[in-house]
Structure 1
Amino acid sequence: MLRSLSADDARFKTVSFTDGLNLLVADKRPASSDTDSRNSAGKSSMIELIHFLLGSRATAKSLAMNKALRSTTYSLELDWPGLHHPLEVRRTGQRPKVVTLSQDILGVSDGALFQDDGPIELSVEQWTSAIERDLFGLRGDHPGVSGRVLLSFLARRASSHGFNEPTRTFSRQSAPEAASNLAYLLGLDWQLVDGYRELAARKATRTQLQKAVNDPVWGRIVGSTADLRGQITLAEAQVERLRRQVADFQVVPEYERLKDRADQVSRRIKQLAQEDVIDQHNLEELQAAVTETTDTEVGYLEPAYRELGIVLTDQVRRRFEDVKSFHHSVVRNRRRFLEEEISELTERLNSRRAERARLGEDQARLLRDLAEGGALGALTALQTALGREEAALAALRHRFEAAQTLEASARQITAKSVELQQAVDTDLQERQQQTNEAILLFSQYAQRLYGQGREAYLAIEAGRSSLSITPRIDSDDSRGISNMVIFCFDLTIAVLAHRYGRGPDFLIHDSHLYDGVDERQVAAALALGAEVAAGEGMQYIVTINTDNLSVAAQRGFDPEPHIRSPRLNDEHETGGLFGFRFKTVKSSR
């Protein structure tokens, strides 16, 4: 149960709660003018602050985030399962992502050397999880059921249009989301009912995909199954080819060194060939020179001189012989030099021929080693290419699956919807005890308001798109009747959830619920709320205006034992909950 709502601002009026019915009253002062209004007295603000302290999402439009209120720290005391003293939770708009608790409810300090019984800080997410676990009995993963949504059924907010329909807590809430949470509160198979939410998500996805396919640009992103099947076949062949290359690839140790050595050998062979061309040319010239180097024939000289009548003296003959001998010596020396050059060139050519043969063998071996594998870098590049092609193939397959899903989704969704409807219908038959209890309880509450002759019941059935829960009271569809349908429905789910450990022991209603309601039903509803809260060991908190309360009193309901302090009023500056006036913006969910 909730015990008190307070703030560290001295102007704020602390609200205290007790067991049973709690009435927070907004009075109209005798001196009030026609322009005064109790709409800003703080009745709805109290419910907004309770939600804020129980983990609601803080946005720029949230009440506690208002510039005039952001620095204020708000506190809520409430009973907590397993604790002997009330738990106090504090939260401020300046640090909206954390809450401060007066006691450790999560065992956060279990590993500490010295246990600290003082306040601890939790993230809002941790706090919400603790609420789901301890106040609603939710354990483990529970997709489709949220503690925040469950709280919104037990403390509807006018700012979220929570009083528009009994089975929704805000105007844009989907029927499947609301149904799975209501199924949990009523004790039905909420996990089975949550299938409707998953089915709705599939329908929404199909709708978006269908729009994309029909778009001339985005349609190419999804594609048709026929086109994608051909692209996948080609991509699979490419991936398989790369996989074989990777499987057959051998990493050659010191690949780069071998490659450099092969390049060096190739360059050396080329250099030797060039040197051979030069030396071969020189060899041919030297061989020709050797052939041309011979002794000059001089035997014709002496007969020629005699013919001329010149007789050579012995001295001339001796000199001629000397010249001839010198010339022979020169010829011999030249031939010897040329032959030595030829021998040297021949030796170089033979040496290079042998070196080329050896280098040729080295080159063949190196090329063979290189041809058998490659460097680690080449393997990495090949593997990268394979990964890229595999990713592209996976993307094509995803597109193919999306295209297949889209083309077959209409039939699949229809089949799944029928299957789910049958399963939920079977579950409702098996859980007839729970549904009967809810139906009878709702009918009992409605007949307390409108008499035994009024037909009132809950219609619970498996629909095609959602579990249908429809509270009905035979009426003229007036606003007052509709509001009392919400009253009876909320009281039913709150009582059943509390009885079976699926919900806390409080229910909160804003004064908007009683607007336009016949005075007889206002009195009957408050009396019924007080009776049920006392009988079930619960707490029913109602914010209400004096005029509604006075007509209830005239119908025999005694409000005095249930009125809690403070009494708010329409005094312009200090009469409201916060003790001062400030500009407000429309709150978000």
Structure 2
Amino acid sequence: MQLIELNSNHSSFKPVVFNNISGLNFIVAKQASPGIKDKSRTYNGVGKSLLVAIIHFCLGSSKKNSFKKHLPGWEFYLKFQVSGVEYKVSRSTDGGQVIKLDGEEIKQSEFNKKFENLLFDIPDDLKHLSFRSLLPFFIRPQRGSYVNFNDPNELGQPYQVLLYNSFLLGLNVHLVQEKYKLRTERERIKVLIKELSNDQLLKDFFAGNRDVSLATQDLADKIKKLEADLSKFNVAEDFYDIKKEADRLRVELDNAQNQIVLLQGQVHNIEESLKTTPDIKKESIERIYKEAAVVLSQVALKKLEELEKFYEHLTSNRQKRLLDQKNELVRQIEVVTEKFSREKVAFDNTLKYLDTHQALDVFVRLTNRLADLKSEKENLERYDQLLKQYQDQKIKLDQKFVEETLKTSTYLTEADGVIKDLRDFFRDLAKRFYPESAAGITVYNNDGDNQLRYNFDAKIEADASDGINSVKLFCYDLTLLLSGYGHHMNLLFHDSRLLDGIDPRQVAELFKVLRDLILPTHKQYILTINQNQLDEVKPYLTADEYRTIIEENVCHILQDDSPEHKLLGIQVDMEYDK
């Protein structure tokens, strides 16, 4: 892969044309008026790091909410080539997981898979390796990517870090994956044993107080004896009939009890009704009319007497009817009560018989006990089997660990030539910066009980300082580009952060290394750099070197004097370096 041009659908955007598809390309951040002491005028914020973020965005990174929020409606276009074939990608900040490749929409996942196949020779049976996980080694995407030479993704996951680097260094990644699997399986078994040890039934066994095989044999003896007892057990012939009759009587008693309560309730209601008298007396009517000063005629008085007799007749009939109903209910209560008493006596006698002849209850209890013993024995056998399975697996894993360690030792011996070439290439690069410092790439067999197959490092003596660490990172990335394996990238892109803390003399040497190694190999190297960094390095280069290496390869200039001269052409404050 080599970059050709980055553009946008907004006219304010400053197109970035990478003039040298093969060769050096420098994007320079300048202060328009370097003599003016204005804190708001700075190399930061002109778009150097944003440029890297946009390139990754076009190359299938996850969608950026900051782009969608601060740059709605923006679309970025990236032209690049792979093995001489040119591609054009366009991606909208509002488009989510959709990318346009040569004018046709394609899902982000399909895009990444396509260029994974074109740019990296990843074996089918390897997990975690992908286009997006390996691309940051060639275009470090974030501020944190410049902290550790071997972890541009900022994963902090030792296994994945080792896997990525082993792949790009040409080491046997299947050995890396195999040890990871073995270790993971061993940890899984440990978790299983821990869960088993928390089982209440097994705590004594795990504590060493009891032996599983002895306890299992003891349970087998008890089961055998109990089965023999039950085979000889005889139940009285009429026991089942009596038990059935007892169940019937219990139901009848319950029904009778409910019926008695219902009838008693009805009797209570009738008694309450008898207390209520709705009769109207003639004297009451006369008193009402007299109080109203109305004189009743004799004819009216006569009719009132007839009405009073009529009401008396009705009242008499009502009382008789209620009393008859009450008497009938009382009679029914007596009948049901008598039935209840008889059945209760029969039920009590049945219970006495069952209590005297408890053969079935004993049989049931013995049967339940037998089931409990069998269940306990099955649990012990099952857990004992799991323990034996764990022991067998542990032995096999231990043997496999030893075999893999021996296999790795043999491999590293056989691959010494490959490792030596990498080590020598890196060391020769480092020696150009620090001739007196020991340097190199080391790969050792890791036989510890962990997930890591190799003890791997790239070292420059005293690389704990920021400047030397940055030089080490540069040397390592250049080693992967020029002497690494499994990729067809042909591109290395560094941000100006790389140069922070490096002595100007070493920066000057860095440019000479690029001239000597990038140009002959027809690879592409891109660097964003601040003008003050160029000013600092200029005294350590000849005029001809400065012109041919740097000035003739500046492909784009960003300035701080106004938003129009920055990358986007507008002023936007957003967090994208995450």
**2:55 is equivalent to residue 50 of structure 1:** yes
Return the alpha-carbon distance in structure 2 between the equivalents of residues 208 and 584 of structure 1: 45
For residues 380-412 of structure 1, give each alpha carbon's deviation from its aligned partner in whole angstroms, at most 9, with x where no partner exists: xxxxxxxxxxxxxxxx99999987787777776
For residues 418-471 of structure 1, give each alpha carbon's deviation from its aligned partner in whole angstroms, at most 9, with x where no partner exists: 4433322322221222111101110111111222x3321111112233222211
* 8 Å CA contact 1:132, 1:146 repeated in 2: yes
Change (3 A) 1:75 1:425: farther
What is the 5 A alignment of 1:215-294? none
Residue 145 of structure 1 deviates from its aligned partner by: 2.0
Change (3 A) 1:471 1:139: closer
Partner AA of 1:477 in structure 2:
A
Q: Secondary structure at the match of 2:40?
A: coil
Change (3 A) 1:526 1:209: farther
Aligned counterpart, 1:96: 96
Return the alpha-carbon distance in structure 2 between the equivalents of residues 586 and 133 of structure 1: 28
Change (3 A) 1:476 1:541: closer
Most deviating of 195-204 and 488-497 = 195-204
Partner AA of 1:478 in structure 2:
S
Q: Secondary structure at the match of 1:440?
A: helix
Partner AA of 1:87 in structure 2:
Y
* 8 Å CA contact 1:64, 1:70 repeated in 2: yes
Residue 140 of structure 1 deviates from its aligned partner by: 3.8
What is the 5 A alignment of 1:11-90? 11-17=12-18, 18=20, 19-30=22-33, 31=36, 33-60=38-65, 63-65=66-68, 67-81=69-83, 83=85, 86-90=86-90
Aligned counterpart, 2:525: 540
Residue 585 of structure 1 deviates from its aligned partner by: 2.5
Aligned counterpart, 2:470: 483
Residue 47 of structure 1 deviates from its aligned partner by: 1.2
Return the alpha-carbon distance in structure 2 between the equivalents of residues 147 and 400 of structure 1: 47
Aligned counterpart, 2:460: 473
**2:168 is equivalent to residue 185 of structure 1:** yes
Aligned counterpart, 1:450: 434
Q: Secondary structure at the match of 1:490?
A: helix
Change (3 A) 1:402 1:152: farther
**2:563 is equivalent to residue 573 of structure 1:** yes
Number of matched pairs: 395
Return the alpha-carbon distance in structure 2 between the equivalents of residues 519 and 564 of structure 1: 22
Residue 473 of structure 1 deviates from its aligned partner by: 1.0
Return the alpha-carbon distance in structure 2 between the equivalents of residues 82 and 423 of structure 1: 40
* 8 Å CA contact 2:437, 2:460 repeated in 1: yes
The TM-score with structure 1 as length reference comes to 0.60
Residue 192 of structure 1 deviates from its aligned partner by: 2.2
For residues 29-52 of structure 1, give each alpha carbon's deviation from its aligned partner in whole angstroms, at most 9, with x where no partner exists: 324612333221211111111111
Return the alpha-carbon distance in structure 1 between the equivalents of residues 381 and 56 of structure 2: 46
Return the alpha-carbon distance in structure 2 between the equivalents of residues 404 and 514 of structure 1: 59
* 8 Å CA contact 1:472, 1:485 repeated in 2: yes
Q: Secondary structure at the match of 1:188?
A: coil
Aligned residues with identical type, % of pairs: 25
Return the alpha-carbon distance in structure 2 between the equivalents of residues 560 and 489 of structure 1: 26
What is the 5 A alignment of 1:314-353? none
Return the alpha-carbon distance in structure 2 between the equivalents of residues 167 and 553 of structure 1: 31
* 8 Å CA contact 2:53, 2:576 repeated in 1: no
Aligned counterpart, 2:322: none
Return the alpha-carbon distance in structure 2 between the equivalents of residues 49 and 413 of structure 1: 47
Return the alpha-carbon distance in structure 1 between the equivalents of residues 561 and 395 of structure 2: 63
**2:156 is equivalent to residue 173 of structure 1:** yes
Residue 522 of structure 1 deviates from its aligned partner by: 0.9
Change (3 A) 1:164 1:476: closer
* 8 Å CA contact 2:64, 2:576 repeated in 1: no
**5+ residue gaps in structure 1?**
103-118, 231-395
* 8 Å CA contact 2:167, 2:486 repeated in 1: no
Return the alpha-carbon distance in structure 2 between the equivalents of residues 89 and 471 of structure 1: 35
Change (3 A) 1:165 1:501: closer
Aligned counterpart, 2:481: 494
Partner AA of 1:79 in structure 2:
Q
Aligned counterpart, 2:129: 145
Q: Secondary structure at the match of 1:574?
A: helix
**One of 552, 556, 559 as aligned partner of 1:561:** 552
* 8 Å CA contact 1:89, 1:100 repeated in 2: yes
Partner AA of 1:188 in structure 2:
L
Change (3 A) 1:172 1:150: closer
Q: Secondary structure at the match of 2:571?
A: coil
Return the alpha-carbon distance in structure 2 between the equivalents of residues 445 and 180 of structure 1: 24
Aligned counterpart, 1:391: none
Aligned counterpart, 1:9: 10
Return the alpha-carbon distance in structure 1 between the equivalents of residues 178 and 25 of structure 2: 39
Residue 142 of structure 1 deviates from its aligned partner by: 3.4
Partner AA of 1:171 in structure 2:
E
The alignment's C-alpha RMSD in Å is: 3.5
Residue 94 of structure 1 deviates from its aligned partner by: 1.3
**2:505 is equivalent to residue 520 of structure 1:** yes
Aligned counterpart, 1:360: none
* 8 Å CA contact 1:9, 1:72 repeated in 2: yes
* 8 Å CA contact 2:170, 2:486 repeated in 1: no
* 8 Å CA contact 1:176, 1:200 repeated in 2: no
Residue 90 of structure 1 deviates from its aligned partner by: 1.2
For residues 305-352 of structure 1, give each alpha carbon's deviation from its aligned partner in whole angstroms, at most 9, with x where no partner exists: xxxxxxxxxxxxxxxxxxxxxxxxxxxxxxxxxxxxxxxxxxxxxxxx
**One of 134, 141, 153 as aligned partner of 2:118:** 134
Residue 482 of structure 1 deviates from its aligned partner by: 0.7
* 8 Å CA contact 1:41, 1:569 repeated in 2: yes
Return the alpha-carbon distance in structure 1 between the equivalents of residues 63 and 199 of structure 2: 41
* 8 Å CA contact 1:133, 1:139 repeated in 2: no
Q: Secondary structure at the match of 1:581?
A: coil
The TM-score with structure 2 as length reference comes to 0.61
**2:541 is equivalent to residue 551 of structure 1:** no
Partner AA of 1:580 in structure 2:
I
Return the alpha-carbon distance in structure 1 between the equivalents of residues 135 and 3 of structure 2: 13
Residue 171 of structure 1 deviates from its aligned partner by: 3.1
Partner AA of 1:432 in structure 2:
D
Return the alpha-carbon distance in structure 2 between the equivalents of residues 193 and 39 of structure 1: 41
Partner AA of 2:493 in structure 1:
I
For residues 12-45 of structure 1, give each alpha carbon's deviation from its aligned partner in whole angstroms, at most 9, with x where no partner exists: 1111112211111111232461233322121111
Which one has a bigger Cα radius of gyration?
Answer: 1
Residue 58 of structure 1 deviates from its aligned partner by: 2.2
Change (3 A) 1:33 1:461: same
For residues 352-402 of structure 1, give each alpha carbon's deviation from its aligned partner in whole angstroms, at most 9, with x where no partner exists: xxxxxxxxxxxxxxxxxxxxxxxxxxxxxxxxxxxxxxxxxxxx9999998
Change (3 A) 1:496 1:573: same
Return the alpha-carbon distance in structure 2 between the equivalents of residues 45 and 89 of structure 1: 18
Return the alpha-carbon distance in structure 2 between the equivalents of residues 472 and 423 of structure 1: 26
Aligned counterpart, 1:583: 573
For residues 174-205 of structure 1, give each alpha carbon's deviation from its aligned partner in whole angstroms, at most 9, with x where no partner exists: 22212222222122222222224434544665
